[in-house]
Amino acid sequence: MSVVAKKIAEFSCRSSWIREMFEEGARLAQVHGCDNVFDFSIGNPNLEPPEAFQRVIEELVRDPTPGLHGYMSNAGYSQTRAAVADYLSGDQGVALTGDHVVMTCGAGGAFHVILKTILDPGDEVIVPSPYFVEYAFYADNHGGVLRPVPSGPDFDLDVQAIAAAIRPQTRAVLINSPHNPTGRVYPTESVVELGDLLRRASAESGRIIYLVSDEPYRRIVYDGCKVASVMAAYENTVIASSYSKELSLPGERIGFAAANPSAAGIDALLEGLVLANRILGFVNAPALMQRAVARLQGVSVDVAPYRRNRDVLYAALSEAGFEVFKPQGAFYLFPRAPIEDDVAFCRELQQHLVLVVPGSGFGMKGHFRMAYCVAPEVVDGALPAFREVGAKYFGG
Ligand SMILES: Cc1ncc(COP(=O)(O)O)c(C=O)c1O
């Protein structure tokens, strides 16, 4: 007798890679001791939130003003939305007001609010491969279908491939920069080219094709890399973002959706986002966190420890013979596996007590993903294993 819906049973099988590796890491740690297991399976930031967060929270919990724990507008506190809009205006180079921002339960919550608002049953959401595995589930939750298209060289956007995938059912193109799982930051020219394509395609089909931009890693960049403004590139853009990574607060579930003020039918779009936040059962983003992030705009973790991990891993993997793109942002590496069967290769690394996730889990076989938001000892401890497998496969 089936306990859960067929779809959920099928999704459970498909979605298991990251969790499976994470749980295997916990099991191995029990057997071999934490210090001997090198777990790169999950993008859970190891850095503590910045000190300013602690100070702000302590002040906020002592605030005796009545009503601070009650419901508020489904869009969030107007003060918080104004603060987010103010920061975003500078960041995107487009003037937003608080009305263009809806506070959400993380970027994941923002996606649900956005997709609920724009998708009709059967609508397609194009995404460059590889991609964050949850996107397929998010689209399906709202009757949509994810349509992966190949990326270009070095995981850049392949705008021609996106153009070729556009059909009457296409409702959105979803991009993520800095990118999970590759660490790619899309150059401004690629984003502008994509905006031009979507403008043309929307005009031709008579139906808006949205650009949905996933930006929780926006402030985690290296070597002065600049993240393009999606709102300057295209009017029908909605951003999903959060403080999960830049403030190391993934458990607090605080983020936002922001719509471009120049989007067609902006009032209806915003009304849809606010309603979706309510009827999806989020109701509103966590009150305390909204008050905190209002005072922390522009604050983020120091990326130096991530950069150090990136540099050490990139150098060691390259030296061992692996083909790997040097990440420009976020905290992931996506090397090519030395054998086509990425799952078998991840199992082999497991024998060395190194936990990574097969590229298949991100829609791209033949690679593996490493989340390097870990202590430096984890990185250093894993290097002998990479040297050993590198010598085996590449003779290095
Ligand atoms: C690319 C990407 N988008 C969205 C999310 C979800 O972020 P949040 O925890 O804010 O919902 C993640 C989390 O790892 C992510 O890597």
Chain segment 47-82, per-residue pLDDT in tens: 999 999 999 999 999 999 999 999 999 999 999 999
pLDDT of residue 36: 92
Question: Mean of the per-residue pLDDT values for the chain?
Answer: 96
The distance in angstroms from the start CA to the end CA of the chain is: 54
Q: Taking residues 344-354, what's their average pLDDT?
A: 96
pLDDT tens digits, residue range 246-258? 999 999 999 999 9
pLDDT at 297: 98
Nearest CA to ligand 1 atom 13: 43
**Would you say residue 1 has pLDDT above 90?**
no
pLDDT digit string (tens) for 357-371? Answer: 999 999 999 999 999
213 Cβ contact list (under 8 Å, min separation 6): 174, 175, 176, 177, 230, 237, 238, 239, 240
Segment 8-18 shows an average pLDDT of 77
Mutate to test the pocket of ligand 1, among 44, 134, 177, 248 (most ligand atoms within 8 A of CB): 134
Phi, psi of 25 (to 5 degrees): -60, -45
Query: Which atom of ligand 1 is the closest one to the Cα of 245?
Result: 10
Reply yes or no: is the peptide bond before residue 178 cis, omega within 30 of 0.
yes
- Write the pLDDT tens digit of every residue in 226-241: 999 999 999 999 999 9
CA dist 202 and 108 (Å) reads 26
pTM of the complete model: 0.96
Whole-angstrom Cα distance, residue 219 to residue 304?
12
Has residue 29 got a pLDDT over 90?
no
Residues whose CB is less than 8 angstroms from the CB of residue 293 and which lie 6 or more positions away in sequence, other chains included: 80, 83, 84, 243, 247, 254
d(CA 218, CA 235): 19
Cα gap 45→23, rounded to integer Å: 17
Tell me the average pLDDT across 158-167: 98
SS3 content of the chain, % helix, strand, coil (to 5): 45, 15, 40
Q: What is the CA(373)–ligand 1 centre distance, in A?
A: 14
Element (DSSP H or E) covering residue 357: strand 357-358
Interval 327-339 mean pLDDT: 98
Ligand 1 — pocket residues by CB below 6 A? 43, 106-108, 132, 176, 180, 214, 216, 242, 244, 250, 255
SS3 string, 307-355, reads HHHHHHHHHHHHHHCCCCCCCCECCEECCECCCCCHHHHHHHHHHCCEE
Closest of 44, 73, 38, 50 to residue 303, by C-alpha: 50
Question: Which amino acid belongs to residue 379?
Answer: V
Provide the CA 363 distance to its chain's centre, in angstroms: 15
Examine the pLDDT at 20 and tell me if it is beyond 80.
Answer: no
* Residue pair 165/149 in contact by the 8 Å Cβ criterion: yes
* Distances 8 to 5, 11, 137, 195, 356 between C-alpha atoms, Å: 5, 5, 10, 35, 25
